Structures are given as C-alpha cells and as structure tokens.
Amino acid sequence: MLAPISLVSSSRMPDLKELEIGHDAQYLAEFAACTARSQALALAGEDPFISDFGKEADVTPGTLDAARLAVGAAYDMIDVLLQSPSGDTAFGLVWPPGHHAERDLAMGFCYLSNIALAALYARDHQVQLNPGRRNRVVVIDIDHHRGNGTADVLASQADTLLIDVSYRSPYDDSRERFTDGLYDAVQDRYRGGAKEYPYSRPDKELELDAHPMIVAPNVLSVELEGEQSPEAILERFLEEVFPRVRDFSPDLILWSVGLDSAMGDPIGGLGNLPSSFYTMIRGFRIAFPDARHGGLLEGGYDELRWFTCLPPALLAFHERPEDSVNRCKAFRKYREAFASKV
C-alpha cells in the first residue's frame, strides 16, 4: 500500500532582493515596472497585456506575483526535502514555468528561473546533508525544449550540475530552414517547422533568429535531433546522463518535468511515453538512494498528456525506491540497468 500524498498550498512569495541570487537587479526592477504599467492600463479600462517585455512572455497585472509564488513554492519544496528526517521526496505543481527565464530576459512563458533558483537555495541551505560543506545539487531538465534559462543562471555555479535533455530540430543548411514540418513542393517551403526552442539557428522564412546557447563546464546538453523512440531516449539517458551524475556525487537531484516532451504534444513531442517519465525518475531514485529527490513542473500543452504523464511521474517520486512492486510494467526492462549502477 502506498502512503497518502501530502498536499500543501504554498503562499510563500520571495521579495525581489531574494531573487537577485539568480537574476539581475535591473531586470527585476524592469519586471516590476512592467507589471505596474499593466495594472495602470487595467485600471484605465484598457488592454493590460504587454507584449514588449522579453520574448514570447506577455505581462499582465498578476504576472510578477504569480512568478514569485512559483519560486516560493519551489523554495518550500526544497525545505521539505532538506528538513525531513526521513528523506521524503517533494514535487512543486507550479505555474508559470521557469526554465527559459535567463538572468536578465523573460522567454517562452517563463519569467523567473524557478528550478535554478531552487537549486541555489538548496545549495546554500542551512541544512547541510554532509555537515561542513554546501549541498551538491543536480538539475535534470526533461522538458522538450532547452532549459536555456536554467543554464544561464547555473552556468559555472559551484556545486551545481545541469543536465539538459532536449529536442533539436532537423535543419537544411543549404536552405537555412528548419525541416520539422511537411515539405510543400508547390510553395517550396516547409510548413510548421522549428519545434526546438530557443532556436539554435536562424530561419529567414519563419523569421526566427538564433539565440545564444550557454556553454559551461557544469552544463551537459543532450540534444536529440527529431522525434525519437522512447527506447532511444532512455538509452541516451543511461549512456550519457547517468555517468555524469554519478561522477558528480549529488546530495539533491531536482527534475524539471516538462510534459511537452511526451509523444504527441502539439508544440513538443520529443517521444516520451508516460512510462518514460516514471522510468527516468524511479531509476535515479534506485541508483542514487542517498540523494534527496524533488521536482518542479515545466511545460506541457495538451490536456490528455497532463492526465496520462503527470501521474506516473508523481508515482515515481512517491514510491519507496526499494519497493519491488511493479506498478509500471515498462520499467521492468530498465530496473536492473539502474540497480546495477548503485
């Protein structure tokens, strides 16, 4: 029998000064000013949506408070992980997401870098899992899109490691075009291309500009070009992700769980199945039994996949790692591979 999951509503709202651990003070001031401008428009009976703040990151009167509450919930999640004597797991159901938010730039519906801020909060927490040194924190991003904001905030930060597993769009160098979509020979163009984000290369036809990609010693980017089979994703995960995390010897493993990496998501669809989320998370709990494990919600744009993929992810966090009951049949073939790495 599984123990009941404890549900806690967080009202924690860090002030702007607390957020400077991961964001520039000027950016935070501009975010606050933009929100105030939106509030003034709303009070005047005008359209409050402001679209000139960041990239694909509209601001309304409640955006800043919502983003701060998401960070507050992430901090509460860390407190649960570190203050529980039994090593409980925790997961933050937060919105807006955060993994595209850079130190000084809002992007892709993300305004504050939730999990990067949580990782730094955990690293510097007063509760030290190994007394005498700071906590060592790994962030594993399994969202369909790149965690460029998480990378920007955590780049070269001591005692942190980011593993970013993401989708890379196929690209025709001769045409300088993404080729995700269907080719229309009559119009000589690809329709519906560029499922990666942010864009690593330009596409003049789609009017997409390349965005700088962060490179740092503590950032491992695992890119998979085009839609993948679930087996191929898990193989790359075991071959490339696991050794890097093992060598890092983490005290905490935090997951950016983006449900848009599920097969069939309308603006994602890397190729994960519901069982994939379970397998990666549960496998790491088995392989790293002494680490604390938590996660935050990132992207996801299909209601069906929220209902089919989030429960297996939560189950993977909630089950005891040593539990031999096989609640996910697809996990059976991978359990031994993870267990052998303990």
Closest to 153 measured CA to CA, from 127, 188, 121: 121
pLDDT value for 190: 76
Q: How many CA atoms lie within 13 Å of 170's alpha carbon, on the beta-carbon side?
A: 12
Q: Is the peptide bond before 198 cis (omega within 30 degrees of 0)?
A: yes
**Using CA atoms, how far apart are residues 25 and 263, in angstroms rounded to an integer?**
39
17 C-beta neighbours (distance < 10 Å), count: 9
Token pair for residue 13?
């709202």
pLDDT value for 34: 97
Render 226-276 in DSSP notation, one character per residue: S---HHHHHHHIIIIIHHHHHHH--SEEEEEE-GGGBTT-TT---SB-HHH
Q: Model confidence over 253-288: pLDDT tens digits?
A: 999 999 999 999 988 999 999 999 999 999 999 999
DSSP class of 62: T
Q: Which residues pair with 183 in a beta bridge?
A: 190
What distances in angstroms separate CA 219 from CA 12, 52, 259, one per listed residue?
A: 29, 30, 22
Exposure string for 148-177, b = 16+ CB within 10 A, e = fewer: bbbbbbbbebebbbbbbbbbbbbbeeeeeb
Q: Model confidence over 4-44: pLDDT tens digits?
A: 778 888 899 999 999 999 999 999 999 999 999 999 999 99
pLDDT value for 341: 60
Task: Say if CB 259 and CB 299 are below 8 A apart.
Answer: yes
Low-confidence ranges of the chain (pLDDT < 70): 1, 341-342
Q: Which residues pair with 223 in a beta bridge?
A: 166
Task: Say if CB 114 and CB 97 are below 8 A apart.
Answer: yes
**Using CA atoms, how far apart are residues 150 and 100, in angstroms rounded to an integer?**
7
What the chain holds in terms of domains, given with CATH numbers, is 16-170+204-339 (3.40.800.20)
Dihedral angle, C-alpha 101, 71, 161, 166, nearest 10 °: -50
pLDDT value for 82: 95
